Amino acid sequence: MNVALLLIGVILAGGTVGYGVVEGWSAWDAFYMTVITVTTVGYREVHPLSRAGEAFTAVLLLVGVGSVFYAVTLFAARLVEGGVQVRWAARQQARMIDALTNHFIVCGFGRIGGIIADEFRRQGVPHVVIERDPERIRTLIDRGGIAMCADSSSEEVLTRAHIERARGLIAAVGTDAENVYTVLTARLLRPDLYIISRAETDDAVRKLQRAGADKVLAPYQLGGIQIAQTALRPAVVDFVQIATSAAHLELSMEQILIDAGGALAGRTLADANVRQRYGVIVVAIQRADGRMEFNPAAERSLAPGDHLVALGPPERLKELAAAVERTA
């Protein structure tokens, strides 16, 4: 495209200078004559041409008309090609979104949303990002992500993101007000959806909770606590990072839902023999009502809706999850 524009500019400039030198015309007359010559509009000459002027015009026609035709053809091809690529990319993204199930909807692709999307991608978690900035959307798509350029607080947009079959929604838009509207809209569409939101102020935390967020996190507060804990207990922080990082292949921490018809429902930890059979450590049990029991005793029973929080090698945790899903 730049080459075509440069070529047209050179032809116009060369023709203008040429007529000025050969015929001694003014800059405007020379430019006008160049334009009507290379565009072949068929107007009469600005002034009668000398033999040298006729020869220059013939050369300008042969070179200029071909160059302008080439530039216009290149411009049209690039325009059509760009439109086709944009439409093809949009259809591809729509198909990928339609194929999503049990996925997360990440609203916002700023610093926080970008980190969330990167972590989901590393762990292979299906997700779609909703962001209003086209540049950020292009960046995400270039990384291989699935994205929508839209307003996450719109019911239509969340419906297109298939909120009806989503696993959860994360509101990480730039302002607290936008997050409140996003959470409120999502809660109205899916009363049972698990919703997490970021917040900048204590007042926003309360508003987001009233809007329907299950969890509200303040990144700056969490960052401050993390720094303080690192200063006071670096070994503990290192252990938690290793246990929760997807990049660490030897050790992982996972939560496993106890289904009503699963093999562990109604059994105690001693009966399940999780430690000996699967080589993992049950760190805690999160009860269905949200209560957390740390370091549970062997006689503690597992009820439907509870979550096992287990620590161990990733492949053994997958075996445990598969066993939990099997019917008793």
pLDDT in tens, 293-314: 888 888 888 888 888 888 888 8
Fold of 100-223: Rossmann fold (3.40.50)
**Predicted local confidence at residue 42, as pLDDT:** 64
Q: Where are the alpha helices (DSSP H) in the chain?
A: 2-22, 27-38, 51-60, 66-98, 111-123, 134-142, 155-160, 176-189, 202-211, 219-232, 234-244, 269-272, 274-278, 314-325
Instruction: Give the integer Cα–Cα distance in Å for 197 and 173.
Output: 9
CATH number of 250-325: 3.30.70.1450
Confidence band (pLDDT; 50, 70, 90) for 240?
A: confident
**Predicted local confidence at residue 169, as pLDDT:** 96
Helices 27-38 and 2-22: crossing angle in degrees, nearest 10, is: 130
Give the domain ranges of the chain: 2-93, 100-223, 250-325
SS3 291: coil
How large is the average pLDDT for residues 178-198? Answer: 95
Instruction: Give the integer Cα–Cα distance in Å for 43 and 174.
Output: 59
Task: Judge whether residue 321 has pLDDT over 90.
Answer: no
Count CA atoms within 13 Å of residue 99 on its CB side: 8
Average pLDDT, the chain: 84
Highest mean pLDDT pick, 48-57, 191-200, 243-252, 260-269? 191-200
Task: Judge whether residue 139 has pLDDT over 80.
Answer: yes
Instruction: Give the integer Cα–Cα distance in Å for 180 and 182.
Output: 5
Angle in degrees, CA 149, 154, 157, rounded to 5: 50
Query: Is residue 104 classed exposed, middle or buried when 0-12, 13-18 and 19+ CB atoms within 10 A define those classes?
Result: buried
pLDDT in tens, 111-137: 889 999 998 988 889 999 999 998 898
Which is higher by pLDDT, 194 or 19?
Answer: 194
CATH number of 2-93: 1.10.287.70
